[in-house]
Structure formats: C-alpha cells, structure tokens
Amino acid sequence: MDTGKLRNDKYFSGKFNSFKKTKGWFVGSFFDEGHPCKTDKLETLYREHKKGDICKPHYHSQKVELIIMLDGKARYNVNDKDVMLDSGDFLFIDINNIVTGEYLEDSKTFSIHSPSIPTDKTLV
C-alpha cells in the first residue's frame, strides 16, 4: 500500500489550557488559514469556570454539542428539564434544544461541537 497519500502533515500538539486568545477554543474553523487547528469538522473547548458562572440560554440549529465535566459541578437546563453534572459526567445536546447552565462550584469542562460553525449560537 502506498501510504504517501495519507500524510497531509496537518497536525498540532499543544496545551489545551493555553488558548487564551480564542477563549479556550483550540480546534475549529475560527483559526486563520494555514493554522493546523483550523477545521470545519469540529470545535473543541477547554474552559475553567468559577462557582456562579452562568451559561446563557441558547440553542444551535446546525451543530451538536457535547459537554464533559472534568472536575466540578453544574446544573444545566435543557428544554426546562434540569440536568446535574458532576465530575466524570457528560451532556449531549442535539440541534434545536434550548440549554442554559450554572456552575455550582469551581469547574473544568471540555466541550465538542460538530461541525464547526462559530456563528451557530442563538441566544434566547
């Protein structure tokens, strides 16, 4: 097998908590052309939240969202139903669901959106 065509040399290694300029987003279509982390396939985010931080009510009409609670505790609300997240829990939200959240203690989260459409967030 000729594996030469499989090597596009687009890869990047780094620290996910060092992306302050992009507010924690470290993969997605919002990077400049030529940046190895630029892709329209997905967006990834690492963020540290303080107790009391709020995620304003919003929905996505074109992308799905996965929130992984690495450390801490939060109360999310999806379509008027509360969902508690503790360390190790995750929440998957398909398109056209209204979601909001409040961090009940200092927390660390990892989020994935797919595909990468930075403008696909509508506040309610």
- Helix, strand, coil abundance in the chain, percent, nearest 5: 5, 45, 50
Residues β-bridged to residue 111: 45, 67
Per-residue pLDDT tens over the stretch 64-94:
999 999 999 999 999 999 999 999 999 999 9
CATH topology of domain 40-118: Jelly Rolls (2.60.120)
Q: How confident is the model at residue 22 (pLDDT cuts 50, 70, 90)?
A: confident
Phi-psi region of 119 (alpha: psi -120 to 50; beta: other; left: phi over 0): alpha
Q: Mean pLDDT: which of 3-12, 16-25, 35-44, 96-105 is highest?
A: 96-105
Domain ranges of the chain: 40-118
**pTM score, two decimals?**
0.88
Q: Could you tell me which residues come within 8 angstroms of residue 4 by beta carbon, excluding any fewer than 6 positions away?
A: none
Rounded to whole angstroms, the Cα distance separating 32 from 2 reads 31
pLDDT above 90: residue 50: yes
| Residue 11 to residue 9: CA distance in whole angstroms | 6
